[in-house]
Every structure is written in structure tokens, then in C-alpha cells.
Structure 1
Amino acid sequence: MQPPTSTPRRALLGAAAALAAAAAFRRPARPAPAAADAAGPSADAAGVSAGTHPYAGAGAALRHPGLVLPQLPHLLLLAYDTPGAAAELREVCERWSAVLDRERTALTATLGIGPAAAGRLGLVTPVPFADLPPLPGDRLDPALGGGDVLLQLTGACAQRLDALAAALEVPGLVPRWRRHGYVPAGPAGQTPRNLFGFKDGSANPGPAEGQWIWLPSGPCAGGSFLVHRRIAMDTTAFAALPPERQEAVVGRRRTDGSPLGGTREHEDPDLYAKTPEGRYLIPATAHIRLTNSRLDGGARMLRRGYTYTDGPGEQGLLFCAYLRDPALFVRVQERLAQRDALTPFVEHRASGVYYLPPPGPPGTALGASLFGPARYL
């Protein structure tokens, strides 16, 4: 798939966020075709080629800014059920697109479709596409997960996301759940830390590994899947562990995120390194050992975590995994349930899996590919 000669307007919203200071966010104008041709494929108005974005690859201009661009500091997830027909959902998507096109603040908007709606409405989605199976240790509240439609908004300002959510309220959808998350403040350009104080996302795919994120061919090419989990974290119990024990549970140094036995955060963990006494430097029950991609034939997922707080005793991680096959998440989670030393300190309380349709060329509505041939606005 060849990228178009201009970047979709909603992609430019996200591009500005990644390139400007929070106080100076503005939506850049869409480049003229001739300028785009001169600058190379998918050049955006800030002068940065889409090919320089992580996970870009071929056809990057048709991929989700919410996945392709660096993680923004605030997240708002809006889940809905849709009692109507496909035509009504299509109208909702077109109304949302009109609102987003008027938005002057840089942000990203990513549409997800749950498996029940995909089948019931006859939408164009990958097959097979189903809910996650029951997983060991889950303590899920159905009211806090699932849904026919998911809208993921990310941006620099939580209040602006709330205002946008209000502007996106339209007939035809029944609100199901809503969740805020944020990235704790830290040095710019570094991997965010979770509530346990450890860096979270150090082993994400590299720029050349987008094949694990994007669907490769057919009418859904350039789409992806999102597995969302709401994970409560027992920070008090974890903080009571000695620092050395915390690092053994995770498999990384708390200071710089390097794997035990290593020196750099993003180096591949040496799963075979041992002490002179014959013990693994990264314990057999360490979280990073059990999630290592070598156990899945190299397959990876793009993981992004956002902290949530719901008052005393209810805080944790909004975990978002973007991947081409949700079965990978199931395999990893089943391994973690068996041996992960982190398990006593976390509890999965909500879940959902969603298909993320590929953004269309400029002028098409959000989720247009779900309904067959694109209809231009």
C-alpha cells in the first residue's frame, strides 16, 4: 500500500502533539500535494516524514497516530454499546469525524470495535475476532470492560479531553464505561514509570518491528487490535519488599530499567546468565522473563500503560496492548498466571478486546472501512 501524498487531518493533530511544547499545541495545516511530493512520502506539516515515526513502515500515513506517535501524557477511554444498525453507527462515526476535524488542540483519536458489534452489525473486520477467553486469576467486573464501540483519546490536557468527550456525545450510543489515565511526570523522552516505581514499556517493539502490530493484508491492512486491561496494583505490599526483592520480582533495576545482569534499559535481557553459584541472574519467576518475546517466536506487542486512581485503595494501571493477534496476549497472560512473582501484587479487574480499523485517506470518516467501500465526507 502506497502512502497518500498528504497526511490525514486527524493524523496531523497527533503529529503536532509529538513535536511541540504542550503550551504551544496547534493543528498544522494540511500540506499541498506538490509540497508533500517534494518532501517525500507522507511528509507532515511539521516537516517530519512519517517514516521517522516508530512502527511506521510502508503506508504509515494510513496508520493510527494514537499508536504511531510517542505516548501522550493523558488518556480518556470512552466505551459504548450500540443498539442500532450499522447505518446508525456509520452516522455516529461521521459525526465524530466532523467534530474532530474542528478540533484545534493537538490530540489523537482511535476508534475500536468490540467483537459482539462486529458480528451483529456485519462490519468489515478480521476473522476470527472474539472476546478473550477466561484467564486465570481474573477478577473482572463486566460493567467496567467490554463494549461495542471504544474511542481512545490521548492528549496533553485532561480537561481538554473531557471537553472533547462532551462535544462527541451523539444519539445512537449508550455509554457503558469511561476511564481516565495519565503518565506520571518524569524526564522527557524517557520510559514512563508505573506506581511500583519501575519503568513500564522498556521492551516495546523497535521501529523495524511493526509487523507485530499491523494487520498485513486484505481489507483490514493497516489495522490492529487493542487489548485493554484495568489492573489494580497493591502498592503498599510491593513497597514493603526490600529493593533487591522488588528487582528480582520485576527482573530489572529500579534505577535505570536495565535488565538484571545488563547495563542498558533497552538491551535484550540475557535469560541464560547465571551467578557463580549457578542461579539465574533474572529469576525463573521474574516478570520480564515470562513476558520475553523469545517464548513466542519473537512476536511482540506495543504496550502503553497509564496510571489511574479512584480514591484510597483503588489505583493501578490502564494497560493497552496493540498487536496484530490478540492470541499473543492470551499466551503471555497464561504464563504469567502460572509463575509470575508479580501476581500477588496485581489484580485484573476489567478487560476488553477491540479491532482498530485502519484510518482512511484524507476526506474519509473515522472507521469508514468498517462499512465497505470508503465514502468521502
Structure 2
Amino acid sequence: MSRADRRPSRRAFLDATGVTVAAGLLAGCSGDSGTSGTSATPSSPSPPSGAVAVTGRHQAGVLLPQRAQPHLLALVADLDATAEPGPLLAELGETVRALTAGSDPRLLGLPPGDLTVTIGVGPRLVRTAGAALPGAADLPGFTRERIDSRARGGDLLLQICAGDPLLVPIVAVALLDQAGDRLGERWRQFGRRGTEVPVAGERSAPRNLLGFVDGIVGPHTSAEQERDLWLAGPPEVAGGTLAVVRRMELDLTRFAALSVAEQEAVFGRRRASGVPLSGGDIASAPGLGAKTPEGRYLVPVDAHVRRANPTVVGVGHMLRRSYSIDDPAPGLLFISFQNDLRTFTATLTRMETSDALLPFTTTTASGTFLILPGHGPRRPLGSSLFG
């Protein structure tokens, strides 16, 4: 059977649901993937055990699940010059719903469990829909980068996360099979979460390859998420967010040669507990004004938690989901989500002037993507932007 024979027909899908893209835009979709998800339609199959709600106002894989799955694949690709983004994104959205429901035979019998697939589009595609839209700006270059041209930018981001490591490459194959020759892969990176450390309530954060707890600070309340994470408008992008994806090599040998106290001074936190050097507990905000009796800052002036502090930088919080990697070299796959690209660019610009962590890093891949608003049977993925 050919790929075309296997691919669900776009028209058949719309006929089956009894709606058009325009009607889907008017009707919207109930629920919020950042909270309770959507109500199932009468024809929707029951979700598999452990499933993450993938339909709603937002795509899954940003806030849901609350504790990020341990295994990830970030895959960046380009759209063929002759292909239209709208139909492809709609098909990919259908495929995601089939994969997460366990009804796609390309899963090879594996249960989907907590599988999520999050899809974003790069600046070139966003500009075709509107040059002033959020996500239309390219990510600028920074210092300490060694990036091949194939590893910078890109038209499409597929973020695949799962508790079962076998699912990740299988789902990638299924999605690329669905896209066929309309997508050309640029680069991909597998990553895994380190040991989760409790932070506050049900929140936790993983350790990174440098031994420190990573991703403690972020927009954690609903109000913070609406303010700093989700795009409120214009309507074409409402419910989406902006992602920055960067792959970094870490100089583990040189960092490990430092004493524990020196390592803690680099981060501004205790290595064992994650507590700021100013005191408190792991969830405490660093006391940037706290000093010793001799007048020395408890959190050094070049410590990472000071240089990257959103209040000091003058930007909102970014939600970070970082993964450790060991191929092509030991390092970190950094993924941040924010509703203003300046949140990232201003933070990194300030870090470049004096951040003790930066000399231990070299960025080897980089890009920014508009994470599309949520989707469902009555609102195809990407329809608000490319419908």
C-alpha cells in the first residue's frame, strides 16, 4: 500500500466530522489543554490509560503533563517549496490524535501512554501568514555559538515526548511518513530528563549533566502563565506560544575540576539541594541583595541565577523544559516557551556580558518556532494561521 493510500484524506476527515475549517474556527474548541482538556465528542474513542489530553486551547507538551516525560526527540525540518503548510499541518494534527489515541497502526502495537507531540512553525512560514505576527522574527546570533547552517532555523519543529523511549523514534517515523516528501529533515536531537527533585507542591525539576537542579524558576500559576507564556492574540496565534530550541555542548571536564563551592558560585545555588546561596528553600527566590557582614553578595555578581533573573533583566518568566544529551557530545537541549521572544533574547544578551556559566557552554543548534494554538476534530492544527 502506498503512502498516499495510507494517508487519511483531508476531505474525508472534514466530511466525517461534518464541518469545514471555517466552521471550526467559528465554533472553536471547548476546554483548555493547560487545565482540564476538552470534552470528548460522541464519536471520540476513550483515551488510553495514562493519556495526556491533546486537544483544547493549547497543544500538549508545554504545560501538560505537569511533570515532563523523561524522553524527548526534537526534530527540525523544512517544508518543500511546492507544499502548502495548511493541509500538511492539518494532516499532522490528525495523525497526532490517532497516535495518542493508540489507533494508528504505525505504533506497531505499542501503547501510547503519556505520549505528546507538540508542533511549531518557523519564522519563514509565519511571515507568509503575516509579517507582523508573533513568531515572524528570526532568532539572532549570539556569542559562544558553533552552528552549522543546517542546524540554524527551520520551518517546522516536532517535539515528541514520552515515558517509553521506544515510542519516540517510532512516532517520528510515523509523522515523517505522513508528511512524505513535503518535509526535509534538518537535524534531530534525542534527550532525557535527569532525576526529578521536588520543588514545591507537585512541582519538580530535573538535575542536569552539571549536577544542578535545572528549571526551578518559571511561570507556575495560571496568572503567570497567561501573562508570560501564552499568546493572547492576534486571533491567528491566540493560545499558542513561542519556543526557543538550542542544543549546547557542556565542558564537563573543566567544570568538574572546580571545587563544589566554585561550582555553586557559578550557578548561585547549592548543588545538593538547589537552595539559593542566599538561603531559604529550593523554591525561594534568590535574595540578590543579601550580603555577608563583610559586604560580599551571597549570590555572586556573575552567578547564573543573578544574570538570568527575569526581574533584573526586565522581562517575563520563561518556561524551561531542558533535557540532557550525550550525542553528538555531552550537553543540554534547552527548550524555553514564552509569549515574547525578547524574554529569551534580552536574557541571553545580559548573560553574555558576565555569566559564569556561559564559558562552559557552546551552542551547536538553534531556532525559534511559533507553537501553534491547540487543535481538535473541529479545529485542525494550523487552521487559524493557514486556513
Shorter-chain TM-score range? 0.7 to 0.9
Q: Any residues of structure 2 matched to 1:95-244 within 5 Å, and which?
A: 95-103=91-99, 104=102, 105=112, 106-119=114-127, 121-122=128-129, 126-127=133-134, 129-169=136-176, 170-171=179-180, 172-186=182-196, 190-207=204-221, 208-210=223-225, 211-219=227-235, 220-244=237-261
| 1:263 Cα deviation from its structure 2 partner | 2.2
Aligned residues: 333
Please give the alpha-carbon distance, in whole angstroms, between the structure 1 residues aligned to 2:125 and 2:345. Answer: 21
SS of the residue 2:188 aligns to? strand
CA distance in 2, matches of 1:3, 1:112: 20
Match of 2:284 among 267, 273, 285: 267
Structure 1 pair 129–94 and aligned structure 2 pair: CA distance change class (3 A):
closer
- TM-score computed with the length of structure 1 as normaliser: 0.80
Give the AA of the match of 1:68: L
In structure 2, the gaps of 5 or more residues are: 1-25, 103-111
1:365 is displaced (CA, Å) by 2.1
After superposition, the Cα gap between the structure-2 partners of 1:234 and 1:47, relative to the gap in structure 1 and judged at 3 Å, is closer
Q: Distance in 2 between matches of 1:192 and 1:128?
A: 28
Cα deviations across residues 299-355 of structure 1 (Å, max 9, x unaligned)?
1110110011115xx110000010011112111111111101112211111110111
Q: Distance in 2 between matches of 1:180 and 1:110?
A: 15
> What letter corresponds to residue 100 of structure 1 in structure 2?
V
Q: Under a length normalisation based on structure 2, what TM-score does the superposition of the two structures give?
A: 0.78
Alignment of 1:1-377 (within 5 A): 4-5=29-30, 31=40, 61-69=56-64, 70=66, 71-85=68-82, 87=84, 89-103=85-99, 104=102, 105=112, 106-119=114-127, 121-122=128-129, 126-127=133-134, 129-169=136-176, 170-171=179-180, 172-186=182-196, 190-207=204-221, 208-210=223-225, 211-219=227-235, 220-297=237-314, 299-310=316-327, 314-372=329-387
Identity of aligned residues (%): 37
Which residue is equivalent to 2:22? Answer: none
CA contact (8 A) 2:210 2:252 kept: yes
Query: Structure 2 CA distance, aligned partners of 1:335 and 1:329?
Result: 10
In structure 2, what residue type is equivalent to 1:309?
A: D
Q: How much has 1:46 moved relative to structure 2?
A: 9.0
Aligned to 2:10: none
Query: What is the CA–CA distance in structure 2 between the aligned matches of 1:190 and 1:239, rounded to whole Å?
Result: 25
- In the alignment, the residues of structure 1 paired with residue 123 and residue 136 of structure 2 have an alpha-carbon distance, to the nearest angstrom, of 6
Which whole-Å CA distance do the structure 2 matches of 1:209 and 1:177 have between them? 33
Q: Distance in 2 between matches of 1:2 and 1:68?
A: 24
Q: Which shows bigger deviation, 332-341 or 97-106?
A: 97-106
Q: Structure 1 CA distance, aligned partners of 2:242 and 2:28?
A: 21
The CA RMSD measured in Å over matched residues stands at: 3.1
Instruction: Return the offset for 1:142.
Output: 2.2
Cα 1:116–1:248 change in 2 (3 A) is same
Quick one: distance in 2 between partners of 1:30 and 1:124?
Answer: 35
Worse-matched range after superposition: 187-196 or 225-234:
187-196
Q: Using a 3 Å threshold, how does the CA distance of structure 1 residues 77 and 337 change in structure 2: closer, same or farther?
A: same
* Residue ranges of structure 1 left out of the alignment (5+ in a row): 16-28, 34-43, 51-59, 373-377
